[in-house]
Structure 1
């Protein structure tokens, strides 16, 4: 399942291209259907861009809802699937692990390493899991 993301640039007036994603007035869109798109998403996460699954609601619709107090009926957004290391090459998995913040990163890191161990069991990724465990000890 492909997820489309809305990306908010740190500079709200930015119009142009960053890592292959076109921005207009600080907002761009990218999906995770390609290797390039996934790499861009990881880049944006690492560099503090705002990143959220796009629910298809325009800014104008949101303003109208705020003004009128009437929320339009729409289908619920598709839930984002958890990161699956088996669907990515080793550098992408390592980039994802590096991009994890400090909030729930330990649990997510352990989940991804366990999925890798149960799946492809690539040495470079499993070594990263061992390194993380040593750092925590």
Structure 2
């Protein structure tokens, strides 16, 4: 499960939108439910800022600066390999787009996800990414 920080276009907005509570233009939502994933996609389509988050508010970050305690950065480790069948098509495409073509580990991951998609749901928009990559390599 990932937690996302949503930045509203109107920074002063406080209230609820698509089931997500905003305070001073910032809201948080995780991708644990279908409704939350739909909300994340809605925010992306509508031009909201959407980014992975550690869940800290601006106030918590300011407090860290005041106290001198720097936030610890930990690498994001996946407990299991990315499974395209557990994600909607935009999330799979986003994962594929995040992989740098030409770097061996990323190429291996890209090919693994395309193969898993072909063997599973076989969604045309995702398989087309694999075809584009193959054409670019030739």
**TM-score, length-normalised on structure 2?**
0.62
| Structure-2 residue corresponding to 1:8 | 7
Q: Encode CA deviations 1:96-117: one digit per residue, 9 max, x unaligned.
A: 366x4xx747758x92434312
| Structure-1 residue corresponding to 2:23 | 24
| Mapped partners of 1:23, 1:85: distance in 2 | 30
- C-alpha change, 1:44 and 1:36, in structure 2 (3 Å) is same
| Mapped partners of 1:45, 1:14: distance in 2 | 17
| Structure-2 residue corresponding to 1:96 | 91
| Structure-2 residue corresponding to 1:115 | 116
| Mapped partners of 1:49, 1:21: distance in 2 | 13
Structure 2: which 5+ residue stretches go unaligned? none
Contact 1:53-1:80 at 8 Å conserved across structures: no
SS in structure 1 of the partner of residue 28 of structure 2: strand
- C-alpha RMSD of the superposition: 3.7
Query: For this pair of structures, how many residues does the alignment match?
Result: 127
- C-alpha change, 1:121 and 1:17, in structure 2 (3 Å) is same
1:32 CA displacement: 0.7
| Structure-1 residue corresponding to 2:46 | 47
